[in-house]
Amino acid sequence: MLNIVLFGPPGAGKGTQAEKLIVKYGLVHLSTGDIFRSNIKGETELGNLAKSYMDKGELVPDSVTIKMLEQEVVKHESPKGFIFDGFPRTNNQANALSVFLESINTEVSVMLALDVPKEELVKRLLLRGEKSQRADDQDASIIENRIRVYLEQTAVVASYYEEKNKYQSINGLGSINEITERLYRVIDLI
């Protein structure tokens, strides 16, 4: 299986690039943010819980997120692989993912980290906020908080994969297609 962790700060372009990669490599896209948002829309218990954190730009607790992710993975019968988008966001989640994938006889193949400077992230997120109804993209202070949470809790996850020689940084500036091509080049070497 080809299991890709697509990594980077909020607004780095993970969702956009994941959509391209699933087509080219026949992978399943699992975005924890999207799964939470669909639960919020469906007014499920999980959605209500997640909303209280997401609206503030905080992380949803690990126990909830990990269980949800595992339930999503097992829904797919003999997949070619997964793109994990927005997960893992803590070292605890990274550990849990590794244990879980081992239990189904597979592993993370690579972490692809989109590198984008902070000023560009804020610009992209505010623009997305104008076009979409995402509450967490509408407010500059929530965006700042998400970037802070990323730097304080999530950025360390890169070292987790670096230590396993599975980390690849990708320049996340340029056109969507240029960035996709950069990702293809790295994936094709795996």
89 a catalytic residue: yes
Least Å from the CB of residue 69 to ligand ADP: 7
The catalytically annotated residue of 37, 124, 146, 182 is 146
- For ligand ADP, which is the closer residue by CB, 71 or 190? 71
14 a catalytic residue: yes
Least Å from the CB of residue 22 to ligand ADP: 16
The catalytically annotated residue of 51, 56, 134, 164 is 134
- For ligand ADP, which is the closer residue by CB, 146 or 182? 146
Least Å from the CB of residue 11 to ligand ADP: 6
> Per-residue b/e over 101-111, b at no fewer than 16 CB within 10 Å?
beeeebebbbb
Least Å from the CB of residue 147 to ligand ADP: 9
185 a catalytic residue: no
* Sign of the four-CA dihedral 18, 64, 39, 150: negative
**Dist. CA 57–CA 47, nearest whole Å:** 15
Tell me if 1 sits within 8 A of 8, measured CB to CB: no
HEC secondary structure over 102-139: HHCCCCCCEEEEEECCHHHHHHHHHHHHHHCCCHHHCC
- For ligand ADP, which is the closer residue by CB, 110 or 137? 137
- For ligand ADP, which is the closer residue by CB, 2 or 46? 46
Q: First vs last Cα of the chain: how many Å apart?
A: 11
The catalytically annotated residue of 14, 37, 124, 182 is 14
- Tabulate helix, strand, coil % of the chain (nearest 5): 55, 10, 30
**Binding region for ligand ADP (CB under 6 A):** 10-11, 32-33, 36, 53-54, 57-60, 65, 86-87, 89, 93, 136, 146
**Dist. CA 115–CA 127, nearest whole Å:** 19
Strand 167-171 to strand 82-85: parallel, antiparallel, or no bridges (unpaired)?
unpaired
146 a catalytic residue: yes
The catalytically annotated residue of 20, 51, 56, 128 is 128
128 a catalytic residue: yes
Task: Name the residues annotated as catalytic.
Answer: 14, 89, 128, 134, 146
